[in-house]
Structure 1
């Protein structure tokens, strides 16, 4: 999308002729639409005499048009698992995820097959050993290098209609116990490298009836079962849709936790509708199927898991997943995997600017940077050093109630207000300026749910 100026007027003219019976009126409307386009070509000193909302009207119209197009042309599936199955059926050989640390590559078809193995090993109806069923909650507790394995578990558990809680591997003791139990988890699947953290809370988990597993062939901890061989022995045959017959786009699917800076981490509920809508973020930022997206953010954050991984699944493009951020290795990874889109958050771009200058700083294919928390001075320095990269600055929080996107690329700003967006007043997309988003629920410590607006 992104139509501007004369092209936008040409497309709108027939609609004006059909909707407005008075020639003078529709000519006046076309003149009003053409005026901002002309203003953008006037000297800046003269253009500033006109209101800001009028100067940016073409961009606002193009952005709203893009949102309308996404909502009409891209019908969402009932669940994100349905979307995985559809993509895997249509393009099984398409590369979905690459692990930058090991070089392991997983196609859509392989992700589908391995997630079916997870479902068959753990599903009660499928006679799996673990015996999970629709509506059960499973907690995942993994380090970054196990990202692909954790994704496989997530998709497989979701095929059963289970809800999954992604828990930060950095919490310990009481916060970890609270994170597992507050989501109502009946099992915990952990990275064997996190043995010490699991053993610390194991007696309390056992007393609450939570079964614990390591994703390994053996278990060094009494009371924790190994899971890897069970999955490897399971069939990869497709899992019948009837197994999750009760799942709709309003069904709870995922729990992402708040940081815990104001108390214990709290699980925020994501239903399938919200996951699917968030997956349109990359498409909104003009990422295409031929792009390669690079993220070094942890999967227990919505930015990497939903906007990036799910965004790549929705588009059919490839995500390069780094287990952790490394400023010294960042651009080498981008060159190695021919990355065209990078994801950032917080001070990541400042860290890149603080690395020693190299002759190859501009030798890359990156054309877009998508994220949030970029200061104006870093924005300017980043472009001067690494080249003309289009930056889409976003704002949103896991438990927040609004989202912003700087779709005009104005340096140093999250976004802007527009009378046009205020007049629309409908929830078109999670990152529409000033729009209320989908209903959300945050679990308080007592395990109940408190309704709000996301």
Structure 2
């Protein structure tokens, strides 16, 4: 018996020594398992493409009567969402004649119809361009035009914005549909009545000509100068982004609160698609409200929240209440929280695990702080770096260009130093660029970084990686910025 115990102890000794040297071993192991699962899922989709729509169909089959979307005073189950999107797909087929591969632009705020429209388009094998519902005039026309959309679908409350650009849309022969039962404006057709008249019988998904590299979405990124750019998001990127919630520790019994705009990657990819990936219930709100945030969480038993930018600071700045810790929220997933706000948030609102993520809509490499280290935007992992090579390179902030050695190659910074984050562009980690904007697409590419002929994506971000492998955001260069809706 003693020899058996001694044998077990000796066998476990290397693991214990490794754990002593690396206190994050169990977190790293958990992340490794999650990453392998994601890889297996992507591999299956390469052989038999189903995309995120396949995950939705799985949800409908597994729990048809589970609540999917809760919005204001209404709620919709997965089977209801399936039927509503069937009606949308049939109405689009009948009145717009969309073909697989065509693009339709959605100009809507956060509401269930946004979800039905996208699912309907996905069932037809079409690409959705997600227009920012705050843009107007020249910007609206530019965003619509650069994705070659055949049709524009508009929320009822945005009629005035579309009327401003209607003459230009008419000149291009674009069909415009508004989500109302009647419309007396020449050039804008009502669409709600057509959806109501359509059958909700199942639609055979048009996926035969699609694969992981096919465009799934156009999501618009903004700069401090110039017009928005349409980032091409392929089917593989949608699937990978949807897996972030599971890698952050989201479970199928969670309830997620989405108030971030669905036209952007955080709300749509990480939020909505992540919920579909796990079969969650989504509490959908039109926009962020600091004063109503925790009341909503309590009312709907929310367990997972999302955040971007200064959202957490807005919450910390609200008047303190006795019931600040009276909620069921256990996990927050997002990006852009400051270290001081992070600590204040936990101190005030309780033991909520914060999973900070890093990445750009159009970027090819990102990070996840799966450990929960305060202040870090992510953590290095050997599997991640092997699959998606990246580096921090020396950058001259005065000349606004990477520093190169005598051979003309970039210089990787040592551990602990700040450098420009670049990700190697490859078949596994592509950069799809911006629709109809070759100049900006090429501007994001760095050539001959470490060897002749290689190609890297220029993130425009200065990062630092410490000796434990944690990644920290330092500064941003160029014209990229991330916006946050106004707090209320």
Give the CA deviation at 1:90.
2.5
Residues 373 and 393, structure 1, Cα contact 8 Å, conserved in 2: yes
Give the CA deviation at 1:122.
1.1
Give the CA deviation at 1:435.
7.4
Listed one character per residue, the Cα deviations across residues 82-108 of structure 1 (whole Å, up to 9, x for unaligned) are 322232123211211111xx2211111
Are residue 439 (structure 1) and residue 447 (structure 2) matched? no
Residues 295 and 344, structure 1, Cα contact 8 Å, conserved in 2: no
Separation in 1 of the partners of 2:154 and 2:57? 26
Output the aligned Cα RMSD: 2.6
Matching residue within 89, 92, 102 for 2:61: 89
If the length of structure 1 is used for normalisation, what is the TM-score?
Answer: 0.82
Residues 256 and 283, structure 2, Cα contact 8 Å, conserved in 1: yes
Matching residue within 130, 134, 159 for 1:166: 130
Q: Could you tell me which residue of structure 2 aligns to residue 42 of structure 1?
A: none
Give the CA deviation at 1:262.
3.1
Q: Which runs of 5+ in 2 are unaligned?
A: 1-6, 390-420, 446-455, 458-488
- Matching of residues 202-217 of structure 1 within 5 Å: 202-217=166-181
Structure with more strand by fraction: 2
- Matching of residues 6-405 of structure 1 within 5 Å: 31-38=13-20, 54-72=22-40, 75-76=44-45, 78-99=50-71, 102-123=72-93, 128-144=94-110, 147-241=111-205, 243-405=206-368
Listed one character per residue, the Cα deviations across residues 1-30 of structure 1 (whole Å, up to 9, x for unaligned) are xxxxxxxxxxxxxxxxxxxxxxx9xx9996
If the length of structure 2 is used for normalisation, what is the TM-score?
Answer: 0.77
Give the CA deviation at 1:361.
0.5
The 3 A distance-change label for structure 1 pair 57 and 421 is farther
Structure with more helix by fraction: 1
Residues 331 and 364, structure 1, Cα contact 8 Å, conserved in 2: yes
Give the CA deviation at 1:450.
4.9
Number of equivalenced pairs? 401
Separation in 2 of the partners of 1:413 and 1:260? 25
Give the CA deviation at 1:73.
6.5
Give the CA deviation at 1:338.
0.3
What secondary structure sits across from 1:67 in the alignment?
Answer: helix
Listed one character per residue, the Cα deviations across residues 23-79 of structure 1 (whole Å, up to 9, x for unaligned) are x9xx9996443214235xxxxxxxxxxxxxx44444333322331134337855522
Separation in 2 of the partners of 1:406 and 1:373? 12
Q: Could you tell me which residue of structure 1 aligns to residue 395 of structure 2?
A: none
Separation in 2 of the partners of 1:103 and 1:110? 16
Residues 79 and 247, structure 1, Cα contact 8 Å, conserved in 2: no
Residues 50 and 207, structure 2, Cα contact 8 Å, conserved in 1: no
Listed one character per residue, the Cα deviations across residues 190-244 of structure 1 (whole Å, up to 9, x for unaligned) are 1121122111111111111211111111114211111111111001111123x44
Separation in 2 of the partners of 1:88 and 1:55? 41
Separation in 2 of the partners of 1:447 and 1:239? 37
Give the CA deviation at 1:274.
1.5
Are residue 425 (structure 1) and residue 425 (structure 2) matched? no
Separation in 2 of the partners of 1:63 and 1:414? 15
